[in-house]
Amino acid sequence: MTERTVTANLALTLDGRYHGPGGPTDAAAIVRYATTEVAREHLSRLWADATTAVLGRRNAEGFLAYWPTVAADEAADPRDRAYAKWLADTDKVVFSTTLTDAPWERTRLVNAPAADVIAELKTAGTGDILVNSSPSVIVDLLAADLIDRLYLLICPEIAGGGARLFDDGLPGTRWTVTHHAVGELGEVALVYDRVR
């Protein structure tokens, strides 16, 4: 049996931050780039082969507040609606130390090391495992060298503060670009595959 591919996606500023100095809800340097043609095509690409979504608690709660309304909105971009429906219908793993009830149907709550859970998921089932905009999970998996593909949307702004994805302490690894596109606002959608 072939191991499943573990993918991860995240939007980053030029200074490598996934949120601004105002904390996790400060997406000012990112949000305007999330609805461009390049970003929407990037979104469509990243979930196309995925059968499992992996989220941290904060993103699971935020996604639950947003994506179901998109799925029900007939005026929404069809690519956004397709992603929202996929997210509702796919199997989800949510990492949390505090949740006691799953926030969505088809959701398994997990309070265990991400690397252990993902290593187990890699050997069972079919389809990609998508770690969905959850930086703390992505960092843990990068540290354990369990991510096979990175989908990054680079936003042409310097946030000047906030948390970074690539910080000291990660092991050195090599990646190759397998897709890239530049949008009209200067955003760059990149797909990197891990060279093993």
Whether residue 188 lies inside any domain: the answer is no
- Reduced to 3 states (helix: H, G, I; strand: E, B; else coil), residue 11 is strand
Whether residue 194 lies inside any domain: the answer is no
The structure's pTM equals: 0.94
Q: What is the mean pLDDT of the chain?
A: 94
Nearest 5°: phi and psi at 185? -95, 0
Whether residue 159 lies inside any domain: the answer is yes
Encode pLDDT of 53-71 as tens digits.
999 998 898 888 889 899 9
Instruction: Over range 132-153, report the average pLDDT.
Output: 96
Assess contact for 52 and 93: CB atoms under 8 A.
yes
Whether residue 102 lies inside any domain: the answer is yes
Whether residue 195 lies inside any domain: the answer is no
User: End-to-end alpha-carbon separation of the chain, Å?
Assistant: 19
Q: Structural domain tally of the chain?
A: 1
Encode pLDDT of 168-194 as tens digits.
899 999 999 999 999 999 999 999 999
What's at 179, amino acid-wise? Answer: H
Residue 160's pLDDT band, with cuts at 50, 70 and 90, is very high
Whether residue 32 lies inside any domain: the answer is no
DSSP class of residue 172?
A: P
Encode pLDDT of 30-49 as tens digits.
999 999 999 999 999 999 99
Domain ranges, residue 145? 6-25+38-182
For residue 59, the domain's CATH number is 3.40.430.10
